[in-house]
A and B are shown apart, each in its own frame.
Chain A
Amino acid sequence: MVILKNLSTEELYAPGHRLCAGCGPSISIRMALKAARGPIAVVNATGCVEVSTTIFPYTAWRIPWVHALFENQAAVASGLEAAYQSLEEQGKRKGKVDVIAVGGDGGTFDIGIQAISGMLERGHDIVYLCYDNEAYMNTGIQRSGATPRGAATTTSPAGKVIPGKRGMKKDFIGICAAHGISYAATASIGFFSDYIDKMKKAIEVDGPAVVHVIAPCPLGWRSNPTETVKLAKMAVQTGMFPIYEVKDGIYKMSLKPGKLLPIEKYFELQRRFRHLLKPENKNELEEIKREIENNYRRILKLAGEQAA
């Protein structure tokens, strides 16, 4: 298991990029690259990480990196992996390169999901990493299929009639696992050791693997930039974002918080949820709490465990 002491000190992701102070996705990328076992190449979807790390003529990437479009990272990665394999088999190049496709939640849950499904079905040896900050933050905080119910975004505002985003977060890992892949996991940048371990496992798998990491966005969550890591932990501890692995179809909890933290504690640190704590939205809050708990129990059950 990864502990701080044995964590690689090599920084493949250089400082000086233009992501915000307290940016969760930035932390998620730095940590993910600590899991590298050798040569690595990243295929990055359009999004905050991409636009802020490679503003020409600068780059924050000390490894081979490519950005293509918003929705095709899984397909570009498929082609890159196929090229490396083909050239290696013909003796035209040498050395295994681990290909990692990276997308935000919008590029993953919504516009990119078809290409991801294709990549998983064809069995490419690629790690797909989704950094999830729960909305289209790069374009100005619009709701995505990963935005939790009730959260206010610029396209799901908390209005007089509709209290924020409708519908629950998609079960992305469930969708990936249903492709019959060997490894899929959720993680949190609040639990770095667990997250990097999962990235290592994903890289070691011979075939497609998926890691879905919660990475708070202070700008979009309207939270204090000093509390990014704390919020990433609380997302797990409240049952909002359970962390678990699905290995060859078998679910296993990575952290079982025992008694869940009250969701209000998590909501009150983020202004995107502020309206839910008002008396007029009491019923909505109760329904959200029930949905979160039901989802948490569903995952526990899949992992063969009982709720505390």
Chain B
Amino acid sequence: MKQRILVVSHGHPDFSLGGAEIAAYNLFEAFKKNENVEDTWFLARADRGRGITGQIHKRRDNEYLWEQGVADWHLMKSAHQESVTTWFVDLLKSLKPTVVHIHHYAHIGLEFIRAIKKYDSSIKVYLTLHEYMAICKHNGQMVKTGKEMKLCSSESYDECRGCFPENTAEDFWLRKHHFKSAFDLADGFISPSEFLRQRYLNWGIKQDDIVVIENGQSDLPPIAPRPIAENETRNRFGYFGQVNPYKGIDILLEALRSMTKEERKLVLVEIHGSNLETQSGDFQIKIKKLAKKLIAEGCLRWVGPYRPDEQRTRLKEIDWVIVPSIWWENSPMVIQEAFTAGRPLIVSNIGGMAEKVQDGVDGLHFSARNPLELANKLKYAVSNITLWNDLHQNIASPLSYTECAEEHMAFFETR
């Protein structure tokens, strides 16, 4: 039987360029082309500037926007309750999906999962987990609250209370109960990384209910290595993505600052980052102050934001991609994108980054949150003539959109 798949995402890439919504949309596009799919739709939560009306509107053929929100982030409760059992169910009645594949419930709430099963328990519900939201109230980061942003490895009612003293341990019992009772309704879970899968196994998802499927990538060929003269080195490093305190830009800039002026002359770091201006004042000041002298010296270029279609052009002039995040990450899209382009990476040695990049095989690890260690890896990458070529050759081509959709279909078949 061919499947009719409704893909649900917390955002539409037309308006929001987060990794999860792009992955969801690309998978939706790939489902369209899959021979076992009869029909497929994309439903994204959207803020159309009219408030949370609960209304669902057509965006274009097979694409819908839902003006939904979250009223209670502790329990992830929908702001527009009524539409969950009315307009959303009407959409199900009209589309008649056999599968609802949910990529995120943030900004939507958890209730619609129950509404699907109550309307028709034969509809299969799958959830792709993009972060640790159910486990961790702190934006699903598994990083402690507070200035030091310590990494967190385990959740418990009392530890979570440590991060949120205004909540009781009982509040966290309730939170987990709410998430778990919604998750219990799902027919299966997909994790883009084994690391995240393990965290959810510890939390309470059953071993057989959750599989790892990497996010799909375009099947464009790798970009040619940046042409270099004989006396030149592979010394161009690029950072791509958001600029926020979890992404470790400050670690990268501090790594440069820790090097001698002579050492810095041998490297060039480009920041292709967005949203610095939306960050807190303290953070902005810190980053700008760190960057100023480096830019003046010429070892740092602040290139700024890019559109997805510009990324390949920008990667042409780059030798290495750096992912210095101070949180665990899951499966950062930029890693797969760098591999697609044929660029080795230098990444923090934790979580999804350590899993996706193999140290000394297709990239380098550095001790997370340690600028001196990152500086050493930058110097090592520049000074070792054959290293780049070796790593570059070992890069395997990432999972394509088509293959990603096929893996999903295979998983759906088994459930």
Question: Do A and B truly interact?
Answer: no
Residues of B near any A CB (own CB < 8 A): none
Where the two chains meet, the residues of A that have a C-beta atom closer than 8 Å to any C-beta of B are none
